[in-house]
Amino acid sequence: MAAKPLRIVSWNVNGLRSIAQKGFDAFLARDPLHVVALQEIRVEESQVPEPLRRPAGYHAHFASAQRKGYSGVALYSRVAPERVETALGVDEFDVEGRLQFAHLGELLIVNGYFPNGSGKDRDNGRVPFKLAFYRRLFDRLEPERKAGRPILVLGDFNTAHREIDLARPKENAKTSGFLPEERDEFDRWIRSGWTDTFRALHPDAKDAYSWWSQRFGVRAKNIGWRIDYVLASPGAMKHVKDAFLWPEVQGSDHCPVGVDIDAKVVRR
């Protein structure tokens, strides 16, 4: 009998301490969940509530920003990674705690919280920083992608790729998250061989979003954006069995997204 696929889930939780009060422990206990990657945890490991620091059945890893209450990522895995790296080698990115590179057998899982391009004054002043982050990560992964390694890059990309990926594309043409230069950078990844797993398996899915403004009624009306992705290298995509969004899961302004992938890619 073939082994069941691994379910790998990504979720921007908008604060780990906040989501801890909204049933996140029950979410982790779902069966089957094999890897849960979180973004925007906004907490240092020492501040993580004890039940979530080492939850039963999981190996937990945390990467925090130097700035308190900001950014940060976490990874819960039922399979112990051989190692988890957190640096791109560029200080201005690494101090923000935006990445984890988890090596699970042959599979490399990259948990990323990509920068928002909006500046302090709600302008687009941070777009160059955002694009530089995309490009540095692309360059870091390119040799392994070319070598055929199965890689999943998942998380909050802070970019809606195509018009189908947000409810109001025309109104947001000048908003960070849907600027031409941001979409062009996403296109570059796709042209280079990365696959948007959800769109590949659900090409015509409309009104399929992963983030909603916290303004009253916006989520209920499903006026959203799909800015959370699982991108697969060619070496990983051939093992992907399904891709999904879970908009029914509450607790954050984002919902979980993920893939089911053949378990053999993590064999050691």
Give per-residue burial for 45-78: e unless 16+ CB within 10 Å, then b: eeebeeebeebeebbbbbbbbeeeeebbbbbbbe
What integer is the mean pLDDT of 126-145?
98
> What mean pLDDT is reported for the chain?
96
CATH code: domain of residue 131: 3.60.10.10
Determine which one of 25, 31, 94, 156 is catalytic: 156
pLDDT band at residue 268 under the 50/70/90 scheme: low
What integer is the mean pLDDT of 88-112?
97
What integer is the mean pLDDT of 103-123?
92
65: in domain:
yes
CA 94, CA 176: separation in Å to the nearest integer?
Answer: 22
Residue 267: pLDDT over 80: no
1: in domain:
no
71: in domain:
yes
Handedness of CA 102, 152, 11, 187 (dihedral sign): positive
Nearest Cα neighbor of 116 from 168, 63, 159 is: 159
What integer is the mean pLDDT of 54-75?
96
Over the stretch 186-244, which tens digit does the pLDDT of each residue have? 999 999 999 999 999 999 999 999 999 999 999 999 999 999 999 999 999 999 999 99
The share of the chain scoring above pLDDT 70, in percent, equals 99
CA distances from 165 to 144, 220, 224 (A): 29, 17, 8
Token output for 248: 């029914």
260: in domain:
yes
* Coil, strand or helix at 184: helix
Quote the pTM value. Answer: 0.97
18: in domain:
yes
Name the residue range of residue 132's domain. Answer: 6-266
Task: Determine whether 156 is an active site residue.
Answer: yes
Domains in the chain, number: 1
207: in domain:
yes
